[in-house]
Structure 1
Amino acid sequence: MANEQGKQVSQTGAEETVTMELTEEKKAAIQERITRQIADELQIGGGRVKTTVGLLDEGNTIPFIARYRKEMTGELDENQLRDIEERLTYLRNLESRKLEVMRLIEEQGKLTGELRASIERAGKLQEVEDLYRPYRQKRKTRASVAKEKGLEPLAQWLLSQPRQGNLTAEASKYVNEDRAVSTAEEAIQGAMDIIAEQVADDAKIRAWVRRHTFEQGIVSTEARKADQESVYEMYYSYQEPVRKLPPHRILAINRGEREDVLKVSLDVQTDRIHDFIGKQLIKGPSVTRDTLTAVIEDAYKRLLAPSIEREVRGEMTEKAEEKAIQVFAENLRNLLLQPPVKGKVVLGVDPAYRTGCKLAVIDDTGKMLEIAVTYPTPPNNKVAEAKAVFKRLIESYSVELIVIGNGTASRETEQFVAELISEVKSRKLAYLIVNEAGASVYSASKLAQAEFPDLDVSERSAISIARRLQDPLAELVKIEPKAIGVGQYQHDVTQKRLDESLTFVVESAVNHVGVDVNTASASLLSYVSGINGTLAKNIVKFRDENGKFASRTQLQKVPRLGAKAFEQCVGFLRIPGGGNPLDNTPIHPESYAVVDKLFRDQKLDVSKLGSEELKAVLQRLEPAELADKLGVGVPTLRDILDSLLRPGRDPREELEAPLFRTDVLQLEDLTPGMELKGTVRNVIDFGAFVDIGIKNDGLVHISQLSNSYVKHPMDVVSVGDVVTVWVLNVDVKKGRVGLTMKKP
């Protein structure tokens, strides 16, 4: 028990002086233990983990390590490196907390060797906090008040469980008007309160009860007002075991509780819990047995149960949030890596009802050519006037694609555009609906104000919508990642954790694609490995003042871009048309000497980079045979050859192009069994939403994604995928369509 432990500590603490100062040897031992633990948890070789930790500690970024240090890490990918980094941070923070807890307990003179060993062995922060709990300074409690009244010896007498004696008589010894103990019953109650708090603070008991609650607990929900209509009606009388509750349901229940629609409880049978605590506390027959049994019931009901319920629900929420963040992050990555539609003049449309549709024509480089506004939708319905404006813009600028944001009035605008396309015979036109999430955030930002100071918010939004087709990545990085709505419950999760995860995704996507340093905005550059916001602005300013960069080495002249930042960023920056063709490839300058040696050895000319003749020679080379001769690792040489075969390539162009439409479907047009092509707009835990060209996206439930078992929808589909679906059912009243990807 905690009180026994505390008593024992106070007797021996003076003899056992524990220093919190760590020797270099001790630091090395802790680092070795952390490395070993990460290797075991992630099933990655200890040497690879140790090397990765060293690289991270030297200030290298994950994209840089993943791309340019493959030999050192054994070709760990970005996700594995990220996992190592996260666990490293957690475990180092855990070690720091252990030291802090030991210091605080030692200051009380209660740190025994046994307790110290228990803290050092703890593998989770929760375990450390459980061990520290009895020694933490508490606010005023019933137990602390009883201690002030001098009732601790009575509590000890109760815990000694004498076989003979009289409890009332013993308690009468503590009746003292000066200490505000009026009766023996009051003294007994105070002693019971002291023991109850010790029971609730005992680390072993807390760990067992927490685990039992996870394994056997039932989450129960009910409506606060049974007749109230809401989106939470399925939870008005609902029960599910804690261990089986899926992440999206946990977050939905939490939101319903937060909005005061649901009452939520966590129920667990108490008999086994009482029995377990009894075995820890009660030694056998005694005159205090019944009293201690009552203490156990009170300790659990009043102290343990509420505390453990908070902890269990907190842990459930944490796991659910982590899953939601993973879903959001994966959707965001797929959205960012949508293939760009280059070489097209685009007409962007930000649809609306009362305020009209804002139009923006942009050329094939993203430059704004003209802004306009039309009113083809209710309540104005100026269809003829709107068609005249659209047709003028289409003819004047040779528009090839119309891009419509998917916000308010988008489907009415789509109907109008489809009709317009059928009337324009002079050129081939198509339209596309894009996710406009975050466009309003960008439009009101300082960045948008600086870019288009003379335009209002909605006009800037139309430009953003148009540019999302031409280069989704370059446009979407201007927006706070969490404002790009491609997930579930993103507003219900810990925002700091969400921001960290999404920032990592954006960085990964940007560095995967590479950035043209001569055209990139500061927003895009700030996500490049090794470049922060200040450096990004310095690069743009240097470019504006000195003209385009002619070589990568010129970047070293940018103010505050030091050697480390240059090493980390330069491989991800491209310079098309520069003096050295290698500057437009992912090959790092540190490997240019390898390329020179390769070209001399094979009698090749770097000026012919990209030619079929050069490709034919490079394709015949075997990296494993050449690596030693060139003094380079096989993975690096493999990447070099791949870059030389496809200089200046954009990896997004290998993905399926977006689905363009010329006509629109009505909900009433759909019948079960109808085959359609659609674009996946969002993937969530229970399925995928697919844009099939009607007002609301259709849902492919997880059970309809494949004929075989699907663990998670992301195993089958991704945001942006163009898929073939069949109509399962249509609910015209609710505007819902059920789809299947199982071919009839």
Structure 2
Amino acid sequence: MEHIIAPIASRLHIQEEQIIKTLQLLKEGNTVPFIARYRKEVTKGLDEEQIRTINEEYQYQVNLEKRKEDVLRLIEQQGKLNEELQKKVMACEKLSQVEDIYRPYQQKRKTRATDAIAKGLKPLAVWLLKQEINGKPEQEAKQYITQDVPSVEAALQGAKDIIAEMVSDDAAIRERVRNSMQRYGKIVTKEKKKHNDDKKIYRMYYDYSERISTLASHRIMAIDRGEKEKVVSVSIDFDKEYMGNWVVQRFTRKRQGAASDLVKEAVEDGLKRLVYPSVEREIRSVLSEKAQEQSIGVFSMNLERLLLQPPLKDKTVLGFDPAFRTGCKLAVIDKNGKLLTISIVYPTPPNARIEQAEQTICELCTKYSVDIIAIGNGTASRESEAFIANLIRKKQLAVAYTIVSEAGASVYSASKLAREEFPNLQVEQRSAISIARRVIDPLAELIKIDPQSIGVGQYQHDLPTARLKERLDFVVQKAVNRVGVNVNTASAELLSNISGLSSSAAKEIVKYRDEHGEIHNRKELKKIPKIGAKSFEQAAGFLRVEKSEECFDRTAIHPESYPLAEAVLKELQLDKRLMGSEEAKKAIAAVDVQEMCEKLACDAYTLQDILDAVAAPMRDYRERYDGPVLRSDVLELEDVHVGDCFEGVVRNVVDFGAFVDIGLHEDGLVHISKMSEGRISHPSELVSVGDIVKTWVCNIDEEKQKVQLSLLPL
């Protein structure tokens, strides 16, 4: 096992012991969130992403070892395995290296070379490679003329075909070509004569070249899409003359003989027809996979921050789903997300009834004491924003508004879940409810939507569906468990993402609540069907019972640590009821963690988590992030000038920058070059989705109605 663990430890820059113990915990059926939160003392504080990566890297190494075993077995069955070959296979660190070594021993489909070998021409190929100084290739070839080989030319061509395939099967040559392409090669794109790029989306790539080693992921994705849509052709350019000379010297051992020209022709054919296209496809595939992984990583990062937006608690919200012709749908929800009423107004053309719309919204705001109006950012969003801003100013309403991403709202509105929740409402009305609830509790609402429908990625439609879903599902689970849920109010969808709970177990919790009323404490969870000992162990710490008589049930402290938590309170001379008080915070500030660890015979990780819970038992993980920007007035492009400073919300982060909402119709782009005076490798080093940032306008494109922004003062 050590030869599998060592490479992983080296790549991840962590200790082998951490990997071994993490893998053991996973093997025992523990979930990633549980290990990250409640087994820190075992893993030495590894987080969810590190644990996931360890598991993926381990699976790759296991597959690599299995492939090595298969290849050695298959070569041995042919009677061709020797000690040197076995060492070469065992030394491989990548699957591609193993496949290169195995290539000459593979069962081949019919090729020009296999056909020539079947005709008995292999000895002639071997003779050509010997580079006999006084030999005469044509004379030698005459010996091989048969009914199947009718001429000298046919014999020599067959021999050259065999040599060409020998070039292709040589692992050292393929590795040399691969390294040369990767280090020194350039991706070259050319515009095709006939294409449908009327909007010139791919204009940058009509005549473009860049070193493979510097090619950014988003450019790889753009090139791949342009090629797929048949707008551009793509090739890899590198020093083929140097490579050809090196391979000729390798095959002729630098000797000059009568067959030198024939061998050179065969080598060039093998490279051009077999090696270059094959390796180029491989490198393009690797580039695409890396770019896709980068895009999936960006999508995952953005989704996580979107899910972890802080909720606006104790607010009554009016959800406003904008539209032109069909009217704007309204939904008022209370502080718990319960629907109070629905309505419709027509403040926008072509059917504008502005006075009636103003009256309706004023009545709703007054009757239900609305605190915030949440406006979806889709079609007619900015026109609706202008209407609301004018209304607030005109009627002096004690209400603010915020722009809410409505990505995926229509998907939820038409889903089976939405139909079950609101069977008597139309799709658009459900959408207004979803928009409003995203302000009250973004996580609880967004959890109902397929993560792939929440548009916070780049080139997401070009990504492998299964891999994307796997990563986004992981992000959802990670976010839900970091926050935890109220076991008495959480939906089945939310509960099903809790560590250790299956979808059926989540439904059983909801069913139990419906039949027995509120769950009174964590112990009661054990009575619920489909929650066995292991499920309880994995889930209990993430399920909060906020009205439990056991104060620890309201916190993130795991039931297994209740005795230790009692001992900690005793040391602090605190009553449970004082948890979260100023007295508790002062007592904890004075604690010597190491000294208390020794006294209570516990680890520092668990002790610190207990101390944090005692200081702030009801703390919400999301409080560390910026909340939504609340506005009362609208911004038009004519109000904006180069040099102006605006506060905005980061809506999306991509490889080349970040899109920031400063209140205009279109989000402004902060290019990566305008983010920092020093060099950064990715915008995510500085900003995340949901961040509130100060920006400066550095360029205005009035024709396209777009602005370019900078995080640096001009």
| TM-score using structure 1 length | 0.93
SS of 2:93's equivalent in the other structure is coil
Q: Kindly provide the amino acid, as one letter, of the partner of residue 274 in structure 2.
A: L
* 1:337-352 correspondence to structure 2 within 5 Å: 337-352=308-323
Structure 1 window deviating more from structure 2 (44-53 vs 295-304): it is 44-53
Q: How far apart are the structure 1 equivalents of 2:23 and 2:656?
A: 37
Alignment correspondent of 1:570: 540
Of residues 375, 385, 394, the one that matches 2:356 is 385
Residue 358 (structure 1) aligns with: 329
Aligned to 1:685: 655
2:424 is aligned with 1:454: yes
Structure-to-structure mapping, 1:162-173, within 5 angstroms: 162-173=132-143
Q: 1:67 aligns with which of 27, 32, 37?
A: 37
Q: Would the alpha carbon gap of residues 213 and 609 (structure 1) be closer, same or farther in structure 2, given more than 3 Å must change?
A: same
Listed as ranges, the matches of 1:484-633 within 5 Å are 484-633=454-603
Counterpart residue type for residue 117 of structure 2: K
One-letter identity of the residue aligned with 1:107: Q
The 3-state SS of whatever aligns with 2:462 is: coil
- Measured in 2, the distance between the counterparts of 1:536 and 1:659 equals 34
2:708 is matched with 738
Q: What is the CA distance between 1:601 and its match in structure 2?
A: 4.1
The correspondence for 1:372, drawn from 328, 332, 343, is: 343
Give 1:228 deviation, angstroms.
4.4
1:723 and 2:693 equivalent?
yes
Moved more, 472-481 or 148-157: 148-157
User: CA 1:144–1:545 in 2, change beyond 3 Å: closer, same or farther?
Assistant: farther
| 1:246-285 CA distance string (max 9 Å, x none) | 1111111111111111121211221111122123211212
- Cα distance in 2 for partners of 1:365, 1:207 equals 62
> Which letter does structure 2 place at the counterpart of 1:423?
K
Superposed, which structure 2 residues align to 1:217-236 within 5 Å? 217-225=185-193, 228-236=198-206
Partner of 2:398: 428
- Correspondence for 2:667 among 693, 697, 700: 697
Note the 1:627-646 alignment, pairs <5 A: 627-646=597-616
Is 1:395 aligned to residue 363 of structure 2? Answer: no
Most deviating of 665-674 and 455-464: 455-464
Tell me which of 40, 44, 65 is aligned to 2:14: 44
Q: Provide the rounded CA distance (Å) in 2 between the counterparts of 1:447 and 1:740.
A: 42
How far off is 1:592 after superposition? 0.3
Deviation at 1:81, TM superposition (A): 2.0
RMSD: 1.7
Q: Say how many residue pairs are matched.
A: 711
Taking the aligned partners of 1:568 and 1:280, their CA distance within structure 2 comes to 60
- AA matched with 1:188: L
Superposed displacement of residue 341, structure 1: 0.5
Contact 1:349 1:466 survives alignment (8 Å): yes
Distance in 1 (CA, whole Å) between partners of 2:532 and 2:142 is: 78
Structure 1's 560 and 293: CA in aligned 2 closer, same or farther, altered over 3 A? same
Q: 1:416-472, CA deviations, whole angstroms, 9 ceiling, x for partnerless residues?
A: 1112222333x4111111111111121222222221222222221111111111111
Is 2:407–2:453's contact at 8 Å kept on the other side of the alignment?
Answer: yes
Q: Offset of 1:731 from its aligned partner?
A: 0.9
Matched, 1:189 2:157: yes
Letter in structure 1 aligned against 2:598: D
Alignment of 1:292-303 (within 5 A): 292-303=263-274
Question: In structure 1, what is the Cα distance between the partners aligned to 2:594 and 2:30?
Answer: 27
Q: 1:538 to 1:422 in 2, by over 3 A?
A: same
Is the contact made by 1:594 and 1:631 (CA closer than 8 Å) also made in structure 2? no
* Other structure's SS at 1:491 match: helix
Distance (whole Å) between structure 2 residues aligned to residue 174 and residue 388 of structure 1: 99
For 2:171, the equivalent position in structure 1 comes to 203
Describe how 1:208-287 pairs up with structure 2 within 5 A. Answer: 208-225=176-193, 228-283=198-253, 284-287=255-258
Q: Deviations over 1:379-398 (max 9, x none)?
A: 22222232232222222211
Specify the SS of the correspondent of 2:435. Answer: helix
The match for 1:9 is none
CA–CA separation in structure 1 for the residues paired with 2:423 and 2:52: 39
Matched, 1:480 2:453: no
* Amino acid in the other structure paired with 1:62: V
The range that moved more, 305-314 or 229-238, is 229-238
- Which deviates further from its counterpart, 220-229 or 702-711? 220-229
Q: Structure 1 pair 304/612, CA: closer, same or farther in 2 (3 Å)?
A: same
How far the C-alpha of 1:591 sits from its partner, in A, is 0.5
Q: What is the distance in 1 between the residues matched to 2:432 and 2:109?
A: 56
Per mean C-alpha deviation after superposition, the further-off stretch among 208-217 and 134-143 is 134-143
Report what 2:387 is aligned to.
416
Find the partner of 2:300 among 295, 318, 329: 329
Could you tell me how far apart the structure 2 residues matched to 1:150 and 1:436 are? Answer: 70
Give the stretch that moved more between structures: 470-479 or 653-662. Answer: 653-662
CA positional deviation for 1:166: 2.2
The answer to whether the Cα contact below 8 Å between 1:676 and 1:724 also exists between their aligned partners in 2 is yes
Secondary structure in 1 aligned to 2:461?
coil
Q: 1:557, CA displacement in angstroms?
A: 2.1
**What is the alpha-carbon distance in structure 2 between the residues aligned to residue 203 and residue 557 of structure 1?**
62
- What's the counterpart of residue 149 of structure 1? 119
How much has 1:222 moved relative to structure 2?
Answer: 1.9
2:174 match: secondary structure: helix
Unaligned stretches of 5+ residues in structure 2: none
Letter in 2 for 1:217: G
Provide the identity percentage: 52
Does residue 95 (structure 1) correspond to residue 56 (structure 2)? The answer is no
Query: Matches of 1:418 and 1:136 in 2, distance apart?
Result: 71
Match of 1:85 in 2: 55
Deviations 1:531-550 (A, max 9, x none): 23222222222222222211
- Indicate whether 1:467 and 2:415 are aligned: no
- Counterpart CA distance in 2 for 1:447 and 1:103 is 52
In structure 2, C-alpha distance between the alignment counterparts of 1:305 and 1:614, rounded to whole Å: 69
Q: Could you tell me how far apart the structure 2 residues matched to 1:228 and 1:651 are?
A: 48
Q: Distance in 2 between matches of 1:315 and 1:276?
A: 25
| C-alpha displacement of 1:125 | 0.9
Measured in 1, the distance between the counterparts of 2:89 and 2:531 equals 44
Gaps of 5+ in 1: 1-30
Check conservation: 2:572, 2:588, Cα contact below 8 A.
no
Deviation at 1:672, TM superposition (A): 1.1
For residues 685 and 229 of structure 1, what CA distance do their matches in structure 2 show?
23
1:289 aligns with 2:260: yes
Distance 2:250 2:371 in 1: 78
